[in-house]
Amino acid sequence: MATNIVFIGLGNMGLPMAQNLVRAGHAVTGFDLVPASVRQFADGGGLVSDDQAAAIQAADIVITMLPASRHVLGAYLGDAGILAQARSGTLLIDCSTISTEAARQVGRAAQEKGLPMLDAPVSGGTAGATNGTLTFMVGGEASALAAARPYLEVMGKAIFHAGGAGCGQTVKICNNMLLGILMIGTSEAIRLGVANGLDPKVVSDVMAKSSGRNWTLEVYNPCPGVAENVPASRGYTGGFGVDLMLKDLGLAVESALASGASVPLGALSRNLYSLHSKAGSGALDFSSIYQMLGEKA
């Protein structure tokens, strides 16, 4: 039976996620500030509306995929927010990557209104969003996850319950900090091989079968021409932006300060991505750090 779903945030990740729900037979109404994204969603069979409040009031599930904590807080809280508009029993799922505290704040507010809510950030990139193979890291009540699971399984292949409200975000922050570190290390290693006259594909192939093996090397290679269908081979367009990685590394460093954890490589990675962004590369895919590491002083 089709479920009435509102999906807010039709960006590089949200659009294919929402489209997969449409393909699964659900009635999905999409909203985004970019009209072209809404048109693309409609062209794929999604529903559109000029009245977001009315759509939320009629929804069984509301899913959000937004850029940062402030956007999520603005979307859910306040007199015109989702929590004020949703009817009793509506399941709320936020797939954005935000701070743990922001997720807990929204989760507490939802609980006060008797609305089940999950923080469910994802990993897998735009390819995973398109192919329905994302990994969901979920925080919230087990009963809410049980209700959400059939819909998450349409969009992803792995679903992990990390704990209570905010725990999904904590796991995601840990994962993306490691991802940023690995991308820099992989780029450095390939650059070192190239500087010594090696073919970057040979270097990558060898490391992929050796102890340096990692996801960024095998699935998301940062060197142009080494792998097909990755941002590096299309001018670093699409994918996961430098500024988004910088945001996530900032969340990791903030979390470390709050918890007393030590993240020296995470902090260094944040600084490198900050330099890369300030040089004008903020909108490029985060694998473009490979370019910065090849620049001559």
Coil, helix or strand for 137? strand
At 259, give phi and psi (nearest 5°).
Answer: -100, -10
Q: List active site positions.
A: 172
The string of DSSP letters for 230-261 reads SGGGGTT-SSSBHHHHHHHHHHHHHHHHHHT-
Q: Are strands 156-163 and 134-139 parallel, antiparallel or unpaired?
A: parallel
Q: Strands, DSSP E only, in 155-292?
A: 156-163
**Structure token digits, residue 14:** 């949200």
d(CA 165, CA 37): 30
CA distance 202 to 171: 34
Whether the Cβ atoms of residue 281 and residue 291 lie closer than 8 Å to each other: yes
Residue 104 near residue 165 (C-beta atoms within 8 A): yes
Tokens of 16: 């294919």
- Give the 3-state secondary structure of residue 47: strand
